[in-house]
Amino acid sequence: MSHLDQVLAKIDADLEVSLNRLFRWLEVPSISTDPAYKDHCRAAGQWLAEELKNIGIDASLRETGGHPAVVAHAKGEGKLRALFYGHYDVQPVDPLDLWDRAPFEPSIITLPDGRKAISARGAADDKGQVLTFVEACRAWKAVTGSLPINITFLVEGAEEDGSKFLPEFIEANKDELKADVALVCDTNMWNQDTPQITSSLRGMVYEEVIVRCADRDLHSGQFGGAARNPIHVLSKIIAAIHDESGRITIKGFYDGVPETPPEVLEQWRGLGLGEAEFLGPIGLKHSAGETDRMLIEQVQSRPTCDVNGIIGGYTGEGTKTVIAAEARCKISFRLVGDQDPEKISANFQAFVRERIPADCSVEFIKHKGSRALALPHDFPALVAARSALRDEWDKDPIVIGSGGSIPVGGDFKRILGLDTLFAGFGLDDDRIHSPNEKYDLKSFHKGTRSWARILAALAE
Amino acid sequence: MSHLDQVLAKIDADLEVSLNRLFRWLEVPSISTDPAYKDHCRAAGQWLAEELKNIGIDASLRETGGHPAVVAHAKGEGKLRALFYGHYDVQPVDPLDLWDRAPFEPSIITLPDGRKAISARGAADDKGQVLTFVEACRAWKAVTGSLPINITFLVEGAEEDGSKFLPEFIEANKDELKADVALVCDTNMWNQDTPQITSSLRGMVYEEVIVRCADRDLHSGQFGGAARNPIHVLSKIIAAIHDESGRITIKGFYDGVPETPPEVLEQWRGLGLGEAEFLGPIGLKHSAGETDRMLIEQVQSRPTCDVNGIIGGYTGEGTKTVIAAEARCKISFRLVGDQDPEKISANFQAFVRERIPADCSVEFIKHKGSRALALPHDFPALVAARSALRDEWDKDPIVIGSGGSIPVGGDFKRILGLDTLFAGFGLDDDRIHSPNEKYDLKSFHKGTRSWARILAALAE
């Protein structure tokens, strides 16, 4: 019996105790955004540090500007150094009356289709996922007394609060956190049976635009026809962002957008992600993106722009004949490849300014800017993880981009020069951030086994 | 001394008692929109009915679906029958802390430039204006024992609540309210020294548009690029309504829009209403309407379209990467001449529907529709009133259209076939609907004298 087989057998045998450990962690209401739970956050971090120490890993709670971070170091057999990242904090639980069970009293539930799952706030996001990695390490330690590779743990306590102090912390501990690859377990599987590696993340530019015309709200009977209406101005700007073919018309917007290699496109085509499958569940039939791109490209490999909110004038019941003094919108761009957030922000602002009539004004509030991230398709850790996941799930993992943005990947790249492999076992129906969050038992069990295999594969 | 001169002398002599009467009326808080003031509304109506009876006019309080209306009939010497309309209800007074004086404790104040004014809620809108007419009638009765013409009074108690039951009441009392001309005292002067007759009112179409795409709010990271964004759809629709020259592009929109006669345009040009005068006070410099029209045309004789409100997606603090399920706007059209509100509403809805993508939907909420009104420039009552006002103010009255809409004029036209002459003595700084409403003492005094003259002129 190989070491790996012994490790996997140990994981199977210990599932019950592993679950019990997870339950103890889930009982700690580590809500990072609510100051009332400050001590609970620290307690959740402390719990993890103790568990790591129990495995024989040198762990401590480290102060940041906010909730403390757990940092731990474990020497392994191989030369590779991995930085594992996760978070021990959880989302708030309100509205509490929509929960079927108390959010901090974890239990095993049976879903309507027979699946078993762990019900609790944080079960999937991210305590359950973090523990798949920790329990894999525990099994390796138990069987071999060591780990296949060197691992540094960085498990923070403020991810749900925007990881405000994390970049600063990484910067301050640059040398200590140095590694060859980052591993993050905070993403989803393709479906219940198919693992997924998220090999790219779109970047983001998020801006707020405020158009102001007259210095007060006006009566449209008195001024209508002569006074500039900021809602019209803003609508014209929004309308001009996309052309007829769905392309974004902002100058230089597509600079740095790579073409997906034909063989990858071929694999995507094979996934059969059609409009019916993807849009049907949300009540739509026709994709609205660039007309010359497959739907899967539209949502994963192409940059996009969406107005996320707009408001101006009278929005209550009934009527009011007002010409508003201002109108505002929030607008975000998802970036890919080498698109430069600074340049896109500047070009977008210029695009808007060009369309602001003579005596109106515009104000911008810049909320976010981050570059897209992408692993090369032949990145060694990616290749190793693919084969390990294939072994565990009997299915080739889907290697795919995520439409979303996970800022920590950008921090690792920028500060540590590190590429990140995102592998996680969440499912689309986990209801993270919502009432009745759950994490499939299968995700927890086979997730732990998957990490045991990935650690072995990374050592080769 | 002619009868008219005696009447004018009587008005001058009785100014103090007239003012006292107005104060008694202003003390009644007849706020029509607030059910708590229901009895006060009735009391304000009752007060007027009693005053009319005191003058010897047959008056009574008549039930409607809402607050009662005062209806009165007075036989006069001449053959002409006029229907006088006004309202005894007032706007709410909140925010109360912005008032310098108690809103229902009327007093005479001195404005910074030395003008004397009556301070109270309803002083200008509309109790003070209504009483100019009543006191003119009182003086005629006192001097001659009769009135120059036959007058029916219709003074309602729910104008500030949208006159919801008025059309029904007019319909039900059609024969009783029959007349040759309607007189309304609820409008403004051109400026402190120059009287004004409002000879036309723009009509209105007011619609709410709700565009729906997906059946729920979406995460823009997951669906951005493929899912249709209703804010974009709505913005494109709004952007398409006006062309480069400011013209409205909806099919048939300009059908029935008359050209203003050259001599009237000439008079308007002479008014010197430039961008600096009109737009300067609201912080603008450049008029935004049809590029081939004078500003005064843009706001008075041309039809317009304004989006009065828009909302969709996330509008709170910070960011949320959401693609909204719906976006909505409120949009109003001001109509002139013979523009047909029904046709414009239908063509607008078709215009929107043509721009709704395949699997999105649109809902319309139709709020209002009314035709524009215009007195022929040679309308006898208009000619008579012009000369009477010229005699009183030593200035030719400005005969002009109003950009606003006064629905009662439409009701009189539609139900009674009656043209309406709007003559009033309010000023732009009267702060109607706002804290510190006032009515100039000069408006009250010379307004009463003006009506005395107009009644005489109408009898000729």
B contacts of A295 (beta carbons < 8 Å) = 226
- Can you give the residue range of the structural domain that contains B192? 3-201+372-459
Inter-chain residue contact A214 with B283, CB threshold 8 Å = yes
Among A321, A327, A332, whose Cβ lies nearest the Cβ of B310?
Answer: A327
Instruction: Please give the pLDDT value at position B451.
Output: 98
Helix (H, G, I), strand (E, B) or coil at A24: helix
CB atoms within 10 A of CB A245: 10
A353: pLDDT strictly greater than 80: yes
Instruction: Please give the pLDDT value at position B27.
Output: 98
B contacts of A273 (beta carbons < 8 Å) = none
User: What is the share, in percent, of chain B residues with pLDDT greater than 70?
Assistant: 99
Can you read off the two tokens belonging to residue B43? 């009391």
Contact A133, A11 (CB under 8 A): no
B311 and B224: one domain? yes
Higher per-residue pLDDT: B300 or A351: A351
Inter-chain residue contact B220 with A306, CB threshold 8 Å = yes
Residue B180: which of B412, B376, B12, B354 has the closest Cα?
A: B412
A376 and A365: one domain? no
Task: List phi, psi (to 5°) of A329.
Answer: -145, 155
User: pLDDT for A398-455, tens place per residue?
Assistant: 888 776 667 788 899 989 999 999 999 999 889 888 889 999 999 999 999 999 999 9
d(C-alpha A281, C-alpha A293), whole Å: 21
Give the end of a domain, one of A370, A397, A422.
Answer: A370
Q: Is residue A298 part of a domain?
A: no
Q: Is residue B454 part of a domain?
A: yes
B308 and B417: one domain? no
Inter-chain residue contact B279 with A226, CB threshold 8 Å = yes
Inter-chain residue contact B330 with A320, CB threshold 8 Å = yes
Contact A443, A189 (CB under 8 A): yes
Instruction: Please give the pLDDT value at position A403.
Output: 65
B205: pLDDT strictly greater than 90: yes
Q: Is residue A283 part of a domain?
A: no
Can you read off the two tokens belonging to residue A375? 């692993």
d(C-alpha A18, C-alpha B244), whole Å: 68
B382: pLDDT strictly greater than 90: yes
Instruction: Please give the pLDDT value at position A260.
Output: 87
User: pLDDT for A274-299, tens place per residue?
Assistant: 899 889 988 999 999 999 999 989 98
Tokens 């000069």 -> residue: B442
A38 and A168: one domain? yes
Contacts for B178 with CB less than 8 Å, ≥ 6 apart? B81, B416
d(C-alpha A47, C-alpha A68), whole Å: 12
Q: Is residue A286 part of a domain?
A: no
Q: Chain B: give the shortest CA distance to residue A151, in Å.
A: 31
Instruction: Please give the pLDDT value at position B201.
Output: 84
How many helices (H) and strands (E) are present in chain B, helices listed first?
15, 18
Query: What average pLDDT score do residues B330-350 get?
Result: 95
B contacts of A306 (beta carbons < 8 Å) = 220, 224, 229, 232, 321, 323
User: pLDDT for B216-270, tens place per residue?
Assistant: 888 888 888 899 999 999 999 999 999 999 999 999 999 999 998 898 888 888 8
CA A83-A85-A90 angle, 5° bins: 170
Instruction: Please give the pLDDT value at position A264.
Output: 82
Inter-chain residue contact B232 with A238, CB threshold 8 Å = yes
Residue B420's domain is classified under what CATH number? 3.40.630.10
Among A204, A221, A299, whose Cβ lies nearest the Cβ of B225?
Answer: A299
**H/E element, A13:** helix A3-13
Tokens 């249709």 -> residue: B228
Residue A218's domain is classified under what CATH number? 3.30.70.360
Chain A residue with Cα closest to B318: A367
Query: What average pLDDT score do residues A256-266 get?
Result: 89
B40 and B106: one domain? yes
User: pLDDT for B166-181, tens place per residue?
Assistant: 999 999 999 999 999 9
Query: What average pLDDT score do residues B5-26 get?
Result: 98
B147 and B194: one domain? yes
ipTM score above 0.90: no
Inter-chain residue contact A282 with B215, CB threshold 8 Å = yes
Residue A358, burial from CB neighbour count under 10 angstroms (0-12, 13-18, 19+): exposed
Inter-chain residue contact B220 with A332, CB threshold 8 Å = yes
Q: Is residue B291 part of a domain?
A: no
Query: What average pLDDT score do residues A107-128 get?
Result: 97
B328 and B410: one domain? no
B92 and B209: one domain? no
B418 and B316: one domain? no
Distance of CA B203 to the CA centre of its chain: 11
Q: Chain A: give the shortest CA distance to residue B416, in Å.
A: 25
Give the end of a domain, one of B349, B370, B391.
Answer: B370
**What total number of domains does chain B contain?**
2
Contacts for B39 with CB less than 8 Å, ≥ 6 apart? none
Instruction: Please give the pLDDT value at position A405.
Output: 67
DSSP string, A132-144: HHHHHHHHHHHHH
A227 and A325: one domain? yes
A148 and A98: one domain? yes
CB atoms within 10 A of CB B146: 15
Instruction: Please give the pLDDT value at position A311.
Output: 98
Instruction: Please give the pLDDT value at position B404.
Output: 67
Whole-number average pLDDT of chain A: 94
A73: pLDDT strictly greater than 70: yes
Q: Are strands A58-62 and A304-313 parallel, antiparallel or unpaired?
A: unpaired
B405: pLDDT strictly greater than 80: no
**DSSP character for A416?**
I
Per-residue pLDDT band for A267 (boundaries 50, 70, 90) equals confident
Cα distance from N-terminal residue to C-terminal residue, chain B:
18
Higher per-residue pLDDT: A369 or A418: A418
User: pLDDT for A209-251, tens place per residue?
Assistant: 999 999 988 888 888 889 999 999 999 999 999 999 999 999 9
Q: Chain B: give the shortest CA distance to residue A139, in Å.
A: 35
Give the end of a domain, one of A323, A339, A370.
Answer: A370
Size of interface A-B (CB pairs under 8 A): 268
B contacts of A315 (beta carbons < 8 Å) = 309-311, 328, 330
Q: Is residue B266 part of a domain?
A: no
Task: List phi, psi (to 5°) of B295.
Answer: -55, -40
A contacts of B231 (beta carbons < 8 Å) = 238, 307, 309-310, 329
Residue A273, burial from CB neighbour count under 10 angstroms (0-12, 13-18, 19+): middle
- What value does the CA radius of gyration of chain B take, rounded to a whole number of Å? 24
B387 and B441: one domain? yes
Higher per-residue pLDDT: A318 or A335: A335
Contact B409, B186 (CB under 8 A): no
Q: Is the bond preceding residue B407 a cis peptide, omega within 30 degrees?
A: no
Inter-chain residue contact A327 with B311, CB threshold 8 Å = no
Task: Point out which residues pair with A242 in neighbouring strands.
Answer: A248
Q: Is residue B284 part of a domain?
A: no
Q: Is residue A36 part of a domain?
A: yes
User: pLDDT for B116-150, tens place per residue?
Assistant: 999 999 999 999 999 999 999 999 999 999 999 99
